Structure 1
Amino acid sequence: MKEADYDEINYMFLVVILIIAINYLLLPIFNMNTLGLFPRLVHIATTYILP
């Protein structure tokens, strides 16, 4: 049970950190392609965390 909670927290943190980091690094590009990059980021994060 604890492992599942930790995995969920880690997953949420990684997704948030990825979105924030890319928002900071590619603010102008991200603003234009938010709808295109968001699913890609979620898919990449999901693939990394949940193979």
Structure 2
Amino acid sequence: MGHKILRCRECSRYTLNSQCPVCGKKTVIPGPAKFSPLDPYGKYRRKGKIQERKYL
């Protein structure tokens, strides 16, 4: 899964780098991927989440 934009948790700036150019902290993915009802792999992802809950 290729993420194009990242966000710094410290200064809330968006960047394409893995490190914030302003404060130097590590950047993270800003949010979940968009939902699409036509997602061909959604069925398998949901099945995996259900199995994960059984083992917790």
TM-score normalised by length of structure 2: 0.32
Higher strand share: 2
Q: Which has the higher contact order (CA 8 A, sep 6+)?
A: 1
Higher helix share: 1
The higher radius of gyration belongs to 2
TM-score normalised by length of structure 1: 0.34
